[in-house]
């Protein structure tokens, strides 16, 4: 349990009330199980909730002197804006440009990455593949990757040597099936999730 960031119970209240977060027993394609399922399509649809979650992520990296917040996906881009806005001083924001389904960093954005202190943000980290590829791109430009942040991480807690901060993981861990406390407690079998 991570106690470095105070829980914002308003975030959970909102997510639960709007059915964006359902509690139960779920199996993800990463092979991990969790007691929570998020509605990934509507997670950032409400700007008040999105801003609160962006603030909570920014808070984790407040003292890290982030120059640029970079997102590998359009889903992460909306969240990245909030995170950059709440950092002090505010950070710049870079979105990846998808080319053949893979994130790339446009030529005219590279000076915002090269030799900068960069925080990578995505709305959700599912398998970790997109984020891992994005870390490679950013590090190829000699950026210093200060952290990886997301609302929820269903993959490994470390990607490409960087620890992932999953905001909702502090309450709903994603654990390997073999270590799942719900399975051990004999809860009904996990519902397979399509991602």
Interacting residues toward Zn ion by CB under 5 A: 33, 180, 182-183, 190
Q: Report the nearest approach of Zn ion to the CB of residue 127 (Å).
A: 18
**The two three-digit tokens of residue 176, written as one number:** 């390997």
Pick between residue 76 and residue 166 the one whose CB is nearest to Zn ion: 166
Q: Which residue is nearest to Zn ion (CB)?
A: 180
Residue among 23 and 144 whose Cβ is closer to Zn ion:
23
Q: Per the structure block, which two tokens stand in for 85?
A: 């806005």
Closest approach of Zn ion to the CB of residue 155, in Å: 16
* Closer CB to Zn ion, 136 or 176, in the complex: 176
In the complex, the smallest distance separating the C-beta of residue 22 from Zn ion, rounded to whole angstroms, is 15
- Residue written as tokens 């900068």? 116
* Run of H or E residues at 166: strand 162-166
Q: Which two tokens stand for residue 6?
A: 């105070």
The least CB distance from residue 26 to Zn ion, in Å, is 8
Closest approach of Cβ 178 to Zn ion, in Å?
Answer: 9
Place of tokens 């990463």: 30
Q: Which is nearer to Zn ion, 68 or 154 (CB)?
A: 154
Q: Both tokens of residue 101? A: 């389904």
Write down the least CB distance from residue 32 to Zn ion, Å. Answer: 9
Residues 6+ apart with CB under 8 A from 65: 117, 146
d(CA 54, CA 66): 14
Q: Considering beta carbons, is residue 131 or 180 the nearer one to Zn ion?
A: 180
Q: Check: CB of residue 50 under 8 Å from CB of residue 44.
A: yes
Give the closest residue to 120 by CA, choosing from 156, 73, 88, 167.
Answer: 73
Beta bridge partners, 169, equal none
Of the two residues 173 and 190, which places its CB atom closer to Zn ion in the complex? 190
């Amino acid at each position: 349990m991570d106690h470095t960031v105070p829980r914002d119970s308003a975030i959970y209240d909102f997510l639960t009330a709007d059915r964006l977060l359902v509690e139960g027993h779920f199996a993800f394609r990463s092979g991990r199980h969790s007691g929570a399922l998020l509605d990934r399509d509507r997670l950032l649809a409400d700007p008040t909730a999105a801003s609160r979650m962006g603030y909570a992520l920014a808070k984790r990296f407040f003292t890290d002197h982030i120059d640029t917040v970079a997102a590998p996906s359009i889903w992460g881009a909306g969240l990245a804006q909030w995170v950059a806005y709440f950092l002090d001083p505010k950070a710049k924001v870079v979105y990846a440009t998808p080319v053949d389904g893979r994130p790339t960093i446009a030529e005219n954005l590279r000076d915002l990455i090269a030799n900068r202190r960069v925080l990578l943000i995505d709305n959700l980290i599912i398998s970790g593949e997109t984020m891992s590829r994005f870390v490679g791109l950013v590090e190829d430009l000699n950026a210093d990757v200060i952290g990886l942040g997301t609302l929820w991480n269903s993959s490994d807690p470390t990607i490409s040597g960087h620890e992932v901060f999953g905001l909702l993981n502090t309450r709903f861990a994603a654990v390997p099936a073999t270590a799942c406390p719900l399975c051990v407690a004999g809860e009904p079998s996990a519902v397979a999730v399509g991602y």
